[in-house]
A and B are shown apart, each in its own frame.
Chain A
Amino acid sequence: MAGEYSDPQPLVEVPHGAFGYAKRPVVRVDGLRLSSGRSLGLFGPNGSGKTTLVRGLMGLLAPMEGHVVRNRENLRFGYLPQHRALDHTWPMSGLDAATMAVSAQTPWGRVGRVRAQILEAMRTLGVEDLANRSFSGLSGGQQQRLLLAGAVACKPDILVLDEPTEGLDVRSRRNLLGFLRGTLAAGLCTVIISHDVQDILQACDEVAWLHPGEDIDQPSTVEMISPNDLAERVAQLRRAS
């Protein structure tokens, strides 16, 4: 999927920036861009600052150094949580789960007017028949597709996906990645947080590889590489170890 491209105006651009908490920078980044129809993979070990970087890109964290350029007014971000992170003691149907993302966009959580939009997204992902089923009784793949339907129904400009294929079987993983490629063709920008090199190879155009600092107080640094380079270097590291 990786390739050269020229984007005259990315949606979000970080020429140079550092993000962190309580005056301690967690991650430092140079030359990162998010553009329509492109997918960025975030790859790095646990604790390397992937979530912090995403929060910075979304504007939820102000940069401690540098600046973030947003080239469009009112950029709309969507977020796909891991289906495993959900609390299954809450009684909810498939439609309730898919509706969560849309309810987040409305001031008081009401979704009456956009229900058709959600059902349409569920139809596209082939999960419309799960609307009235108990969410906790569904397979991981079905749960993830329902959540993705909700995230897509919001019509975000940039969709952040947190480990989207975690815990899915091969078929569900293939379907989900296929759908994501379709959304890119339709002009959506995606940011995929993943530990899986295969996912990044299949779904991403570019990778931000987060390297933790040598000292615990040092921020992680971000290296921008292509998915093929990432796969090659990870394979080399595995052979070496």
Chain B
Amino acid sequence: MTPLSEYVDTIRVVYPSLVTAAALGIGGGIVGTFVLLRREALLTLAMPQVVAVGAALGMAFPWQILPPEWRTLAPALGAVIIAVLLLAWSKRQRTGNWLLPALYIGGLSLSFLIIAHSGEHVIEMQNMFTGMDVTMTPQQMAISSPILLAAGSLCALLWRRWLLFAQAPAVAEAAGRRTNRWETLFLCILAVILLMGTSSLGAVMVIAMLFLPAATALPWASRVPTALLLSMIFSLIFLVAGLILSIEFALPLSQSVGGFGFCCLVISHAAARVWK
């Protein structure tokens, strides 16, 4: 058993990452609930690859005029905006379901091709995907955490809208609501979570926080607000458990959170089957 003082020392060093992970857990838990209910899981897998392309561009061709914390974030934001516009167009045109797999494989390939002969950036990129050795500064935390919390809060406040568009789009249309605009807003909220989460903590952590708490919570929720609350609680439990595992057994944090969350998800679904 690791002494408490070592926990305190570790937390003192990595607190910006932990605070951001907690904000990601809250924001991601909320948005992830709707991602699962709206059956848009593939979108969540594809978008971190888009973020990676932007980040790779930022690493290969850094804009010196930008402050250091924005040099990869700004091009990643640009890539995400282009992807959101493409997705919104694709939904409107009903172009079929080729775009998301294309973004996934295209992003995965291009991000590494852009930095192919730069050993230092290749490692940096690998860390962005795996979430290993990712460290954050308090300045980065001060940018990411409020944005993640704001995106989650906005998504939660609009829960009746997402319910309406998923269940009865014709009712919304009859009332004069523009489906495309609201679909685009949801895409933007999700893109913000994915952009801030991936660039701060890596793809493993962001995908874990989007899927696992929501999927663990949903079998036990009778209403959307209950699902959102349970999802936030589970995400914080996963983070604390992942932190304990990572300190006790010297494991990477993102994978510890993801592994613990996955076990809870399996237990939750098995228990729900027995219970119900």
Whether, in the assembled complex, B37 has its beta carbon less than 8 Å from a beta carbon of chain A, the answer is yes
Q: B37 and A86: CB pair below 8 A?
A: no
- Which residues of chain A come closer than 8 Å to B166, judged between CB atoms? 87, 90
Instruction: Offer 13 A-B interface pairs, CB within 8 angstroms, sorted by A.
Output: A58-B174, A77-B175, A81-B171, A92-B167, A99-B160, A100-B171, A104-B164, A104-B171, A104-B172, A109-B161, A109-B164, A110-B160, A134-B222
- Which residues of chain B come closer than 8 Å to A104, judged between CB atoms? 164, 168, 171-172, 174-175, 177
A103-B161, A104-B177 given; 8 more Cβ-contact pairs under 8 Å = A81-B170, A87-B167, A92-B223, A99-B160, A103-B163, A105-B175, A108-B157, A108-B161
- Tell me the number of A-to-B contacts counted with CB atoms below 8 Å: 85
Q: Choose among A60, A78, A86, A108 the residue that contacts B158 (Cβ–Cβ < 8 A).
A: A108
User: For chain B, what secondary structure do more than half of its interface residues adopt (helix, strand, loop), or is it mixed?
Assistant: helix
Q: Which B residues lie at the A interface, using CB under 8 A?
A: 37, 157-161, 163-164, 166-168, 170-175, 177, 218, 221-224, 226-227
The range of chain A's interface size is 20 to 34
- Which residues of chain A come closer than 8 Å to B37, judged between CB atoms? 87, 89-90
Q: A103 and B168: CB pair below 8 A?
A: no
A100 with B158, Cβ < 8 A, contacts A79-B174, A92-B224 known? no
Q: A100 and B222: CB pair below 8 A?
A: no
Q: A90 and B172: CB pair below 8 A?
A: no
B272 CB to nearest A CB, Å: 12
User: Who on chain A is nearest to B173 by CB?
Assistant: A60
Chain A window 67-89, contacts with chain B (Cβ cutoff 8 Å), 1 for yes, 0 for no: 00000000001110100011101
Q: A91 and B222: CB pair below 8 A?
A: yes
Chain A window 84-125, contacts with chain B (Cβ cutoff 8 Å), 1 for yes, 0 for no: 011101111100110111011100111100000000000000
A103 with B158, Cβ < 8 A, contacts A58-B174, A79-B170, A91-B224 known? no
A81 CB to nearest B CB, Å: 5
